[in-house]
A = this chain, B = another copy of it.
Amino acid sequence: MKFGGTSVGSIDRIRNVARRALAAQKAGNDVVLIVSAMSGETNRLLSLANQVTAVPHAREMDVIAATGEQVSAALTALAVQHEGGKARSLLGHQVRILTDAAFSKARIRSIDATAIRETLAKGEIAVVAGFQGVDDGGNITTLGRGGSDTSAVAVAAALGANVCEIYTDVDGVYTTDPNVCPTARKIDRISFEEMLELASLGAKVLQIRSVEIAMKYNVPIHVRTSFSDAPGTMVTGEEGLEAVTVAGVAYDKAEARVHLVGVEDKPGVSAFLFEKIAEQNISVDMIIQNVSRSDANRTDVTFTMPKTDLERSRPIIEEIAASAGAQEVRYDEDVAKVSIVGLGMRTHAGVASKMFRLLANEGINIQAISTSEIKISCLVASKYTELAVRTLHEGFGLSQAPVKA
């Protein structure tokens, strides 16, 4: 049972978490809680570090940030004890959750389930601090924002748990963002693959890495709200899951478009460009290379990248572009990526053309397209985001519950 920052955001809410855990234990389960820092706490801690130095060393940042989950884990254990139960907090180095040494964005390598199993064997509830681990050298690491989801799924996998319940402030995964599309509907069950695409495409409900681990180890995730007992969304393998054509619509306004005008059109120029860009740790998402322009063997190359990286990356991109003979570099931050995701696309033809037609009918110009086996993304002007989302949601019939085949 994983509880996010909002769900442990006050002493009263921590008590609520303790009562839920005890109810689950009373129902005959061994219970492991994974908790995030109390909401606001991580920001408070990072701001302290930023007051000391503008560019804090990541190792020390992780030492500071990890205290947020350390406090909430111990408070939660105390709350269980206060309700008459038995509990014990376990930190990343106590479990131990071994990660690589990439401070602030570490990846879990392995989890030793011994300490948790010993705790459970004593009838205690294990309260594991989320978001944190320890590297080979005993240094404290953190998994990046939202990393507690990953902690939870990885611990569930290490224990062979029946289910990993992710408690959050929404009641499940929706067909699209309800703030944008009032007819958005809670999905009862969705596949790992679809959830992975939705998370990658901007749906914030689960951290991408957590879904990857769940898929790899086949750990069912139950995304649900901590504010009621209503069931949420089960994220599972495909077995017995009806393959709907389109399961959900996602959007992402976090990317900027970069347009390299008049790059020399000769073999290897794209490879050169994107090798250089990758070397600079600039993470590129969509890439479009137009056919050669009629004038003088030149072509345009367009790609998208996180807006937050744009400022530091501009001089680098312009240097790389110049060395590839580009005549000009243009930037557009007013873009959004709108995507549809569904297992059924594998077998249903015509999904892409239907998407393009729906957008065209509303006068929305498509600036770039990228596809995978189970998703199609279109880049559009950001002012069209909400219209595009609602249009696709209605056009693919997502407002109605899927009809059983």
Contacts and interface: CB of A to CB of B under 8 A. Distances in A.
Report whether over half of chain A's contact residues are helix, strand or loop; otherwise say mixed: helix
A115 B45 CA distance: 26
A52 B18 CA distance: 11
A57 B88 CA distance: 10
Interface string A81-119: 110000011010110000000000000000000010000
A156 interface: no
A116 to B, nearest CB: 13
Contact of A64 (B15, B75, B139): B75
A188 interface: no
A49 B71 CA distance: 9
B79 A53 contact: yes
B71 A45 contact: yes
Contact of A78 (B49, B77, B91, B93): B49
A72 B49 CA distance: 10
B89 A60 contact: yes
A56 B71 CA distance: 13
Nearest to A96: B138
A141 interface: no
Contact of A93 (B89, B93, B115): B93
Interface in A42-78: 45, 48-49, 51-53, 56-57, 59-61, 63-64, 66-67, 70-71, 73-75, 77-78
A196 interface: no
Contacts of A63: 70-71, 73-74, 77, 89, 91
Nearest to A57: B81
Nearest to A63: B74
A24 interface: no
A88 B75 CA distance: 28
B82 A11 contact: no
Contacts of A139: 94
Contact of A14 (B52, B73, B79, B94): B52
A99 B89 CA distance: 19
Contacts of A51: 11
Contacts of A56: 78, 81
A345 B39 CA distance: 60
A72 to B, nearest CB: 9
A285 to B, nearest CB: 33
Given A70-B64, A71-B67, A89-B60, A78 B53 contact: yes
Contact of A82 (B53, B64, B74, B140): B53
Nearest to A138: B94
A320 to B, nearest CB: 31
Contacts of A45: 71
Contact of A48 (B67, B71, B73, B77): B71
A66 B75 CA distance: 13
A363 to B, nearest CB: 52
Contact of A75 (B14, B52, B79, B93): B52
13 contacts: A49-B78, A56-B78, A56-B81, A57-B78, A59-B89, A60-B75, A60-B89, A61-B74, A63-B89, A64-B70, A64-B74, A70-B70, A91-B140
Interface of A: 11, 14-15, 45, 48-49, 51-53, 56-57, 59-61, 63-64, 66-67, 70-71, 73-75, 77-79, 81-82, 88-89, 91, 93-94, 115, 138-140
